[in-house]
Amino acid sequence: MTSSIILPQEFLSRDFMIAAGSILFRREPVTERPQICILYHGLMREYRLPSGRKDVGESIEATAVRETYEESGYPCKLLPCTMETRAPMPGVDQHPDVIRVVEEAVEPFAVTVRQLGETGLKVVWWYITCAAGDKVDGTQTESEVYTSEFVDAEVAIAKLAHPDDRRVAEQAWKIVKKQWKL
């Protein structure tokens, strides 16, 4: 993954959209093989990850869980994982800034910033979730035309249409492999 330096800029609320999504994992019920849920967009004929806009007053974590459920039909919950973060521990004044490895973290593990043409930016916060029940029908909004399926992790990553989705899913898979000791 490459990084680039972004010079400080200010954006007003009308200039950006806040969104959240997740990489939804489960173990295949019979083989126990790790799987990722991907969405097939029928009109665009491509595979995507579940994500969507934050509602007014909603936390970003709640957005990730809600959008994943709405678009995939699978109830889910944040999956506590060991990951690197710059977030300080509660009540700790962390100076200088350090990157630390934290166990049982439910922090966003990635953020994607996408340009929306001349209309602004879309900032997507990514979380790692795990399935918490069987699929429920009828969870999508009128404008959503997705078919969800769980696929072996590497196969799911390869099917994703957008390079940034693949990079995000690859990073989540690295974290979950260590978490599940695979």
Q: Quick one: fold of 15-179? A: Nucleoside Triphosphate Pyrophosphohydrolase (3.90.79)
Rounded CA-CA distance 61/55 in Å is: 12
Spans of all domains in the chain:
15-179
Q: Give the tens place of pLDDT for each residue, 11-63.
A: 889 999 999 999 999 999 999 999 999 999 999 999 999 999 999 999 999 99
0.75 surpassed by pTM: yes
Residue at token pair 């007003």: 12
Cis check: omega of the bond before 50, within 30 degrees of 0: no
